[in-house]
Chains A and B, each alone.
Chain A
């Protein structure tokens, strides 16, 4: 391939019309041609610089959930603001019955109104600042976290930028979901297990505490002490 042909392919990169075989051929040429390599590097730099500098701090799916919640029939008030002023909610009164205490949560139905028909985990919402959404495992609808929110195995929570949720895990600890973060409550026999999907989670546990683990896409964190923080980028 000569540089004239390579230049046309670099233009194709900019246009977004380059095929995979063409990209491979261009890369092979770039191994031997410093000038074309530099042009490719410059193009990739500009594209990534624009993408990164204008990027959103909110995951698209979080924004989607918030916007759909605002367009829903149940919301007649002003649109939700992703960066709203703090909301402090009273703690709910649910007892945590984790696996080690012999409580088993089975599959349950989620009727159209979103209420659950089987016993839920006893997780209290200790504090909620800004906007955090949660979704039951078999539901498609996200809901705004509130003092009366209840949770089951498989449920997910997503916090918006500026949002933070503090959950009381029974009588032995607190889990804080930081802003722009996402977690899921997973079932595990004999141990409470949280899956951190994105962002930061901090745990403050009493001593002693029952087995407590946080899984991430990259590994497992098993609580040995009383305070730790996990971040997934």
Chain B
């Protein structure tokens, strides 16, 4: 089923249809949150909040075909909320404890070819992209959507998405050049 059919079914109370949407975009939303929050623990909590918020507010989605783009905008708000929550923590001991927990749970890259430091560089590179470039990169690399499909879910022209993706890729390639395979 495509996103339009799933959103429509979810609105009618079909939670399993919403579950398919969660399964389809979980990795993408987590990736955005990891890039913005810096650790997987907070990112997965933010992702969970994102999907719960989306479920509660499905009636507010105007174009069912653009569910993914709408979901990513909710995810950004949830990440901003998470940042604000962190800033409110004034207890130094609690902060120290949180950072220890975060460091302990901060997963090294599962890619055996990347060190933890390199994985941090990758996350920083994605986090440094503007929202429009970040969207297309995450939907392409995490959700595996083609530029044609990305254009549908973001409500843009395929040519625009293609240009944005190629520019974003060029930026990422430059930032990862230090440890990427050589181009001859």
Contacts and interface: CB of A to CB of B under 8 A. Distances in A.
A binds B: yes
Interface of A: 11, 14-17, 34-35, 38-39, 41-43, 45-58, 60-61, 63-68, 70-72, 79-83, 140, 161-162
A55 B23 contact: no
Contacts of A49: 109, 111, 114, 118-119, 122, 176, 180
Given A70-B52, A161-B44, A161-B105, 18 more contacts: A15-B140, A16-B147, A17-B147, A38-B182, A41-B181, A46-B173, A49-B118, A55-B110, A60-B26, A63-B47, A63-B48, A64-B22, A65-B19, A67-B22, A79-B48, A83-B41, A161-B40, A162-B105
22 contacts: A14-B169, A16-B146, A17-B147, A35-B183, A38-B181, A42-B181, A45-B181, A50-B141, A51-B141, A51-B142, A53-B34, A53-B111, A53-B118, A54-B31, A55-B30, A56-B30, A56-B34, A56-B47, A63-B47, A66-B48, A67-B22, A67-B55
Contacts, number: 160
Contacts of A45: 176, 180-181
Given A16-B140, A51-B142, A46 B169 contact: yes
**Central interface residue in A34, A50, A54, A67, by most chain B CB within 10 Å:** A54
Interface residues of B, number: 59
By DSSP majority rule, is chain B's interface helix, strand, loop, or mixed?
Answer: helix
